[in-house]
Chains A and B, each alone.
Chain A
Amino acid sequence: MAGTDAIRADAVSKTFTIGKESFQALGEVSLEIPERTFATFIGPSGCGKSTLLRILADVIAPTSGEVSVFGRSAAQAREERDFGFVFQDPVLLPWRSALANVELPMQLNGIDKAERRARALELLDLVGLQGFEKALPAKLSGGMARRVAIARALTLGPRVLFLDEPFNGLDEIRRQNMNAELQRIWLETRTTTVLVTHNVSEAVFLSDRVFVMGRNPGRIMAQLEIDLPRPRTIETMTSPEFVEYDRELTALLRTAYEDAEP
């Protein structure tokens, strides 16, 4: 899996200012994510992991520091539509069917109707939603809406996929199923992926590399490589190696919490 870095961040920081109050969400964060890697940010709430993700995707600008994506600035990469982003909330447009929601990025990109329809159907198929093309978001379950959001993020064949706690609010079993599906999709596409989560076993199950983050200010405290064969399965989760990774990551995360709450 070695190769060039897909994403590099150099001393990226972020300070939010609201009125006279200012709050440092991120200290100086530097990191590298190699191409075709599944990377994860894990940490206590308020450690700036979502902020860091948004900076990497050029959704918000850093206060200082630089981000490069495949050798260009994050802004350039975004403008060239290199990114797919899945938010905590699926943010489907309620007036558009599942199919039309998946078509949206292609529509904005000026891809003709027949082509985008074919591609959207293919993607709905990939996320296991055949038969629900015409359904409006209000008629979809939480898990189905999230699948649509993932399909939508994949439409333009992004070079980097950003996932901001995409399975938040799903119960444990649904979350495990969605993780297994996400891994399957990832194995098919091998898109460089950056996930934000606060769930340890989710991080171990999906990632090649996990960044453990602490807060006040947000920073990376540790980095852990997960070297487990793929595809990982429900059985993998009970293997001694998995359990050991889980224990190790939990210990690192515990330090991050303790550090933040003196």
Chain B
Amino acid sequence: MSATTTTAPEVRLRGAAVPTALTLLVVLACWQVAVPLLDIPVYVLPSPTAILAHADWSAIVSASGSTSVGVVLGFVAGNLLGFVLAGLIAWSAAAASVLYPIGLSLRSVPIIALAPFITLAVGRGVSATTTVAGLIVFFPTLVNVLAGFRSVEREALELMRVLNASKRDVFVRVQLPAALPLFFDALKIAAPTSVLGVMTAEWVIGGHGLGQLILTESLALNGETMWGGIVASAVIAGLAFTLVSLAERLLIPWAGDQ
């Protein structure tokens, strides 16, 4: 016997896709039937087919593009910040005593409270939405990655000592890879959170994204386009999560077998 084969990621994905699609279809069907049955006004909740037919899709696509840019930039910036801070904190006790309180206090301020300051500092638009998303995302990543760096078994560190490994070698060859599974967990949390951050910013600060679109369309009692925007935001969050999961399986296949 040699190393056995594992189920390929695509097979596992396809296996999960069938029940997921079925569930989605059932929910959509119930929704479609319930709306006329319960006599729900169209500006509150239109049926799926009505949304598909009457929503202003070109406006939704354009708003989705704007939101996506903020999501991607905020996701990258926030996770990079969280990862680097965690690395510095794990590397040096001195850095930890300075950076951890800063991170914690930055996290403690409700993001809404900072919104006016962010507008004044970086202006409106993508720079503002990116900043808000990044600030929401960085702290869970910091906490997770730090736990990852510290998850190394005592004996693994003793082994590195017997081998007279440098601090840099211990960090690069043991701690860093050991932190990757928790880093990917953090990225999966960050993917939808990043969408939330951008849309919150669009809602409070303004801009051309989905947050703004949903707000204005709801005020105009335009239920179809409002709901189109809601669906689009869910699709963006789901897509981001799926991409992170795929990247995880490709980049750290060893973690799934632990």
Contact = CB atoms under 8 A, between A and B. Distances in A.
B163 A87 contact: no
B153 interface: yes
Contacts of B163: 81, 104-105, 108-109
Contact of B258 (A57, A81, A94): A94
Contacts of B159: 85, 87, 91
A81 B161 CA distance: 10
B3 A132 contact: yes
Interface string A121-153: 000000000011011101100000000000000
Given A93-B174, A134-B3, A108 B169 contact: yes
B interface, how many residues as a size bin?
Answer: 20 to 34
A54 to B, nearest CB: 7
Given A78-B164, A85-B162, A138 B258 contact: yes
A88 B257 contact: no
Contact of B156 (A93, A95, A132): A93
B76 to A, nearest CB: 24
Nearest to A85: B162
B10 interface: no
Given A105-B163, A139-B3, A54 B257 contact: no
A104 B164 CA distance: 12
Contacts of B162: 57, 59, 78, 83-85, 162
Interface in B159-180: 159, 161-165, 169, 173-174, 177, 180
B23 interface: no
B164 A139 contact: no
Contact of B2 (A91, A104, A132): A132
Give the interface residue-count category, chain A: 20 to 34
B252 interface: yes
A84 B162 CA distance: 7
Contacts of A58: 161
B4 interface: yes
A85 B4 CA distance: 29
Nearest to B254: A95
B158 A87 contact: yes
Nearest to B170: A108
Contacts of B153: 89, 91
B170 to A, nearest CB: 10
B155 interface: yes
Given A93-B174, A94-B254, A108-B173, 9 more contacts: A84-B162, A89-B155, A91-B153, A91-B159, A93-B173, A94-B257, A109-B163, A135-B3, A139-B4
Interface of A: 54, 57-59, 78-81, 83-85, 87-89, 91, 93-95, 104-105, 107-109, 131-132, 134-136, 138-139, 162
27 contacts: A58-B161, A59-B162, A78-B161, A79-B164, A80-B164, A81-B163, A83-B162, A85-B162, A87-B155, A87-B158, A88-B155, A91-B156, A91-B159, A93-B156, A93-B173, A94-B254, A94-B257, A95-B177, A95-B180, A107-B173, A108-B169, A108-B173, A135-B3, A136-B257, A138-B254, A138-B257, A139-B257
